[in-house]
Chain A
């Protein structure tokens, strides 16, 4: 992973201790998900070179930015990190054009597609405006454009949607998805919102108490995430990568095929596109016999792989549907009455499946 980010940082701030390893390949989005106070932003500040006390090793694209063992410490302004904060941090004394030129003038290499960045981020009509007169969404567009125009070698986004209202959030999310998909540098996206991470990221890093609890492809980490800490108590769910294989226009349903089965979801999706579908554990119930005459559209034959939290009132059952894993959250009473245990064949009834992307 020489083109990517490879970091291990330690930092003590009062009683808080950050000790985290983070790897992010070039050309993909790595989401760092964690509750507030987990050290997400501090980790980002370490990567950007803004924490003087940070120790460890940080390398990006084979270039070493920090190596405390060898006394290497590249200052922030030589790292070339694209930073987008929650509050956009535009220069209030410069117009939008001035803000963008500030980045462009200092870029070591002219950014490929400089004008295209301005067009694609939609900031061209804003060039003569003052940052103080922009809406929250517009400010974030400018901040994103400014970060990209500096031709960064690493792009860091710290809760860029947190300060926005719902329409602006959807708009900027859409923009980020379009821009980041084609990025050739590593992208680290910090958020406390599980839904944002699922929509944008290829890889997920769960951070809690300054430590990495889990890391890996979204599909795998989502299955292991602990509800409550990483998203709401009810947000535990499996993420399924699927392809739209059939569209029922009359009933407005689309069929998405995944390795091991298929799901029907509401809406007419574009045929042949790849989609990410979230199946929440609370929306999956289990039956030992194939349910007939049911209103539930998606009934999938599955095999129990594992039962987690079996002693709690609401255990989590890990299911294998072909190669794909799903989660079901059922009551302990049901678990006992149905005799659910690893190896048992069941039918998973999926009440709802949400297309995330």
Chain B
């Protein structure tokens, strides 16, 4: 493995890890709200969250490029706050990844929260547990498999990100050149052996992660007890 390979893989891992952390932080309250709200406009939010599932990543990337660019609303806001620019930076990639992988985190969490059931939460309330207490001591433990699945899927999906990165990140070694971009790069220059190394690593990693989701999580007792 070349130093370039290692840099690309390390950057990919960092991006996936940071994005997953941000996704769990933002996705948990969003999923909880979606699971509990009786608001009729909920479908709008659900559809918006699911968009990255069907949208070509280049479309998402294109709009992000506009929004994050110096004349876009987010880019202008960052500039106004004295923050460094977002396009073609690692931070920009995190923003893109979070949007791109949002459904993979929110949907399993929402399903897990919905299965917690209103009556067991009512029981907790009657015993004196306030809303945050109920959430932390009843909803989160009962939804723990949902958290495991959400984290793993969010991480794995970010590993495979390509179109969004290409649009808003470009191909800067050590900053935005993640594994999927590096592979594309190698193929463009007909370096098939180099493309192979990274591709095989991504393939094996992704398969191992999914194997954990479908098989291992159960054995680790992450499924809610009946």
Kindly list chain A residues whose C-beta atoms are within 8 Å of the C-beta of B133: 77, 106
A108 at the interface (CB under 8 A from B): yes
Q: Which residues of A contact B225 (CB under 8 A)?
A: 92-93, 130, 132
B78 contacts chain A at the CB level, 8 A cutoff: no
Q: Mark B94-127, 1 if CB is under 8 A from A, else 0.
A: 0000000000000000000000000110111111
> Quick one: closest B residue to A93, CB to CB?
B141
- Check B224 for interface membership: any CB of A closer than 8 A: yes
A85 close to B119 (CB less than 8 A): yes
Contact bitstring A62-77, B, C-beta under 8 A = 1, else 0: 0000000000000111
B128 touches A106 (CB 8 A): yes
Given contacts A92-B225, A132-B225, contact A81 B126 (CB under 8 A): yes
A270 to chain B, nearest CB (A): 38
Asked if B128 and A107 make an inter-chain contact with CB atoms under 8 angstroms apart, the answer reads: yes
- Give chain B's interface residue range (CB within 8 Å of chain A): 20 to 34
A91 touches B138 (CB 8 A): yes
Tell whether B82 is near chain A: CB-to-CB under 8 Å: no
Contact B125 A91 (CB under 8 A): no
Contact B125 A50 (CB under 8 A): yes
Q: Assuming A91-B138, A130-B225, is B128 touching A77 (CB within 8 A)?
A: yes
Task: Contacts A91-B138, A92-B142, A130-B225 given; indicate if A50 touches B122 (C-beta within 8 A).
Answer: yes
The 0/1 profile, CB within 8 Å of B marked 1, for residues 54-96 of chain A is 0000000000000000000001111111110101011111000
Specify which of A85, A102, A132 is in contact with B226 (CB 8 Å cutoff).
Answer: A132
User: Within 8 Å CB of B123, what residues of A?
Assistant: 83, 85, 89-91
A91/B120 contact (C-beta < 8 A), A106-B129, A108-B128, A146-B127 known? yes
Residue of B127, B130, B142, B224 touching A102 (CB-CB under 8 A):
B127
**Considering the chains assembled together, what is the distance between the CA atoms of A92 and B115 in angstroms?**
13
Counting CB contacts under 8 A, is A326 at the interface?
no
Chain A hits for B129, CB < 8 A: 77, 102, 106
Which residues of B are interface residues toward A (Cβ below 8 A)?
Answer: 119-120, 122-131, 133-134, 137-138, 141-142, 224-226
| Interface CB pairs A-B, < 8 A, 29 | A45-B122, A50-B122, A75-B125, A76-B125, A77-B127, A77-B128, A77-B130, A77-B134, A80-B128, A82-B126, A83-B123, A87-B119, A90-B123, A91-B124, A91-B142, A92-B225, A93-B141, A93-B142, A102-B127, A102-B129, A102-B137, A103-B127, A106-B129, A106-B133, A107-B128, A108-B128, A130-B225, A147-B126, A150-B127
Q: List the 9 shortest-distance A-B pairs measured between CB atoms, nearest first.
A: A106-B128, A76-B125, A83-B126, A89-B123, A93-B141, A77-B125, A103-B127, A150-B127, A132-B226
